[in-house]
Structure 1
């Protein structure tokens, strides 16, 4: 892992953004028969799980 990638991964974890790399590693190790989501779908899925889909954003 390059220094830039390590810094980016650290920044993502500090703000609570899940790691796509960790997700891919988990899928390969525990669910090899399943097709993993692409990075865009993974990001949207994690946003949906965190913030919900009840329309609009959160104010506070």
Structure 2
């Protein structure tokens, strides 16, 4: 129960600072891009930070 609370609190905190859910990303990749392997969690976090604060354009695949 504590572990589930911690996971939900972490997800909420990440959403508050603009980082989408890694689990939701993995589900999206499995459903819409099954031929492409998903990024690992660390790469996903860096990619989302770069998309939000970096200079390269875009941030969504579709």
**TM-score class normalised by the smaller sequence:** 0.7 to 0.9
Root mean square deviation of aligned Cα: 1.8
Secondary structure at the counterpart of residue 32 of structure 1: coil
Count of aligned pairs: 54
Equivalent residue number for residue 16 of structure 1: 18
Unaligned runs of 5+ in 2: 57-62
Q: Give the alignment's TM-score, normalised by structure 1.
A: 0.76
Q: Give the alignment's TM-score, normalised by structure 2.
A: 0.74
Unaligned runs of 5+ in 1: 55-60
State which structure, 1 or 2, has the greater radius of gyration over its C-alpha atoms.
Answer: 1
The structure 1 segments of at least 4 consecutive aligned residues displaced by more than 3 Å after TM superposition are none
Structure 2: how far apart are the matches of 1:12 and 1:21?
Answer: 12
